[in-house]
């Protein structure tokens, strides 16, 4: 069945969202069509504000307001000598939900995946290396437990060797193939607390 172009355009755009298939895209588009104009306009305005007012943090590549540091990097109480490297901003939120909020983060915005054409130069690895000015004592590789993340972890371990006193990774109590953002707080807290120091 074909839909009017105005509706099909919305379905196509929603269908580009991660994890949203054609049927879900149709359901969301039809739901939006039934909403009052002011609600749809508010959503549209929120999306525009997000693209105009947010960018990557100049230090850690997390989400920040334009022209500044994220709230974590701007927090003077944070221990700047410990950096936890994560794949995405939702992973930062997962760690923040349970931790004592003393460490800082660095967001890679992905993991290496040769099959998908994602190589090291497409990640925020150079930005991480630029932060290693001698004041960083530990880098925690807080990546998920899957093949791509393990490949990235080994690459980073080799790159960081000799650059920081301690390189560690999360204890492997995490489920294989599980993403950090979906792991329960107790398991993630234990994996961080019992992290394994890697050979440096």
Mean predicted confidence (pLDDT) in 28-49:
96
pLDDT digits (tens, 9 = 90+) for 158-195: 999 999 999 998 876 555 556 677 666 666 666 676 67
Residue 71, both tokens: 């709230």
State residue 98's pLDDT score: 76
Calculate the CA dihedral of residues 138, 142, 148, 151 and round it to 10 degrees.
20
Cα distance between residue 87 and residue 175, in whole Å: 16
The structural architecture, per CATH, of the domain 70-197 is: 3-Layer(aba) Sandwich (3.40)
pTM: 0.79
Mean predicted confidence (pLDDT) in 66-94:
93
Domain definitions of the chain by residue range = 5-55, 70-197
Whether residue 57 has pLDDT greater than 60: yes
Give the CATH superfamily of 5-55: RecR Domain 1 (1.10.8.420)
């Amino acid at each position: 069945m074909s839909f009017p172009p105005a509706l099909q355009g919305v379905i196509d755009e929603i269908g580009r969202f991660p994890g949203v298939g054609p049927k879900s895209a149709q359901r969301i588009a039809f739901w939006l069509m039934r909403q009052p104009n002011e609600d749809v306009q508010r959503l549209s305005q929120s999306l525009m504000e997000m693209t105009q007012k947010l960018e990557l943090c100049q230090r850690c590549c997390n989400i920040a307001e334009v022209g500044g540091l994220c709230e974590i990097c701007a927090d003077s109480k944070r221990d700047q000598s410990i950096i936890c490297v994560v794949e995405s901003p939702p992973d930062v939120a997962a760690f923040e939900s349970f931790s004592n909020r003393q460490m800082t983060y660095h967001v890679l915005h992905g993991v290496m995946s040769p099959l998908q054409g994602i190589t090291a130069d497409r990640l925020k690895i150079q930005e991480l290396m630029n932060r290693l000015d001698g004041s960083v004592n530990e880098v925690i590789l807080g990546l998920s437990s899957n093949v791509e993340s393990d490949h990235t972890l080994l690459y980073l371990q080799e790159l960081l060797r000799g650059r920081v006193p301690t390189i560690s990774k999360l204890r492997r109590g995490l489920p294989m193939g599980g993403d950090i953002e979906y792991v329960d707080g107790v398991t993630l807290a234990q994996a961080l607390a019992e992290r394994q120091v890697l050979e440096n």
